[in-house]
Amino acid sequence: MARSTFAESGADLRLDGITKRFPGFTAIEGLDLSIAAGSFFALLGPSGCGKTTTLRLIAGLEEPTAGRILLGGKDVTSTKPYQRPVNTVFQSYALFPHMSVLENVAFGLKRRGFKDATAKAHEALRLVELDHVAQRRPAQLSGGQQQRVALARAVVNRPALLLLDEPLGALDLKLRRQMQLELKTIQGEVGLTFLHVTHDQEEAMTMADTVAVMNKGRIEQLGAPEELYELPRTAFVANFLGNSNLFTGEVVSADGDTIVVDVGGRRLAVPRVRAQRHAGEVTIGVRPEKLVLLPDEPTPQTGRNVLGPGRVIDASFSGVSTQYQVAVPGIGIVAVFAQNLGFGPVMQEGAEVWLTWSVDHGFGLSDSPEPPATSAGDDVDTSALALQRRERLQAELEEA
């Protein structure tokens, strides 16, 4: 369907210092966010990080404790939900069971007195490719079809901004992937601004032009999917968006284009421009698929990091690839993801191996992974240690 049939375009959304406190709990803290008109934006984060609260604030269903919400440049912070050009699609599609699909889609427009409600509903149903079932009841449709009706019902109002709160959560994996592609196509066709909330990193990455990774009510990092994946800035992003091998150590040299870090007695390099911090104790990382496994020690080569010898403690063959866990003394467990280029896994469990990767593929984080939760008795010790460590980092930062 041509874009012209849905003539009204999307609007910019801006959140300006939004804080939301519930009694005794701060769900959102000083959130700043700009979403360009017509973009497909994903808010990605674990359950409980504040995604739904953010959407409810934008829709006007909650009032922020502080901050402003601007839509198309207009301050809507104190307007009622129905005064905002915003529509929401939820995980449970909540269609009216006693109405036909067409009536469900036309309902909102009819109530608002639109004369061409039925024609517009047909148009929206054609967009989600369900016009041929317009006379059926929701119960006569599959889950995926019902979700598409819910989408048509939201799009038919031509909101400047469409909020999607984990709308594909109830669908099985295959249908989910299919719907992801369809949603993306529909967004391209209607040109509205989509804000899609999900805890599924693959979903966020495949659908959105821009992804914001949210953690504990804050945005940790925002960017294009490939940018977030290739250059995560925090340990949370490095591990929430795919997997990472993380190594922590002291910077021993930072003179040239690379910084060199001493990790358990080995020297590992990272490009300076890909490292957030250049002095003191830092955490660096590399994605498992960037690593190459070798049966023998490679000759040292500038531009490549080497770890080894290590031992393969697990090789999980999944057809297209094998995931290896390699124990490297003094370093820990390193994950390697190898494409199946031959016939099955190349290395057997128990094999001695060397690991190597291009320095260019590494990244340096601005923080360190949180220490794993310990028993209650250790809490005082660990928090005291964490405090000491933070003070040391602070001192080093000030020196640098």
Mark residues 243-272: x for contact with ligand ADP by CB under 6 A, - for none: ------------------------------
- Asked whether position 159 contacts ligand ADP by CB under 6 A, the answer is no
| Residue carrying the six token digits 């190597």 | 356
Q: Which stretch binds Mg ion (CB under 5 A): 43-51, 185-193, 234-242, 364-372?
A: 43-51
Nearest Cα residue to 125 out of 97, 96, 98, 155: 155
Contacts with ligand ADP in 33-52 (CB under 6 A)? 45, 47-52
Using a 10 angstrom Cβ sphere, with 0-12 exposed, 13-18 middle and 19 or more buried, the burial of residue 45 is: buried
Position 64 contacts ligand ADP (CB under 6 A): no
Burial class from Cβ neighbours inside 10 Å (0-12, 13-18, 19+) for residue 348 reads exposed
> Interface mask (CB under 5 A) for Mg ion, residues 47-86, using x and -?
----xx----------------------------------
CB closer to ligand ADP out of 20 and 120: 20
| Amino acid, res. 272 | R
Q: Which listed residue (22, 267, 384, 390) binds ligand ADP by CB under 6 A? A: 22
Partner from Mg ion, ligand ADP, none binding residue 213, C-beta < 5-8 Å depending on class: none
Considering the complex, what minimum distance in angstroms separates the CB of residue 11 from ligand ADP?
23
The CB-of-50 to ligand ADP minimum distance in angstroms stands at 4
DSSP string, 166-199: STTTTS-HHHHHHHHHHHHHHHHHH--EEEEEES
One-character DSSP codes across 110-169: HHTT-TTHHHHHHHHHHHTT-GGGTTS-GGGS-HHHHHHHHHHHHHTT--SEEEEESTTT
Dihedral pair phi/psi, residue 152, rounded to 5°: -60, -40
Residue 28 dihedral angles phi and psi, to the nearest 5°: -130, 135
CB of 136 to ligand ADP, least distance (A): 32
Residues 361-380 that bind ligand ADP (CB under 6 A): none
State the binding partner of 343 from Mg ion, ligand ADP, none, CB within 5 to 8 A by kind: none
Question: Cβ of residue 51: shortest distance to Mg ion, in angstroms?
Answer: 5
What residues have CB less than 8 Å from 48, skipping those under 6 apart? none
User: In whole angstroms, how close is the CB of 56 to ligand ADP at the nearest point?
Assistant: 7
Please state the closest distance from residue 289 (CB atom) to ligand ADP, in A: 29
Q: 121: closest CA among 144, 95, 86?
A: 95
N-to-C CA span, the chain: 57
By CB under 6 A, name the one of 2, 4, 25, 115 that touches ligand ADP. Answer: 25
> Would you list the DSSP string of 238-263?
HHHSS--EEEEEEEEE-SSSEEEEEE
* Contacted entry of ligand ADP, Mg ion, none for residue 27, CB cut-off 5 to 8 Å set by kind: ligand ADP
Q: Give the interface with ligand ADP as residue ranges (CB under 6 A).
A: 22, 25, 27, 45, 47-53
Q: Give the interface with Mg ion as residue ranges (CB under 5 A).
A: 51-52
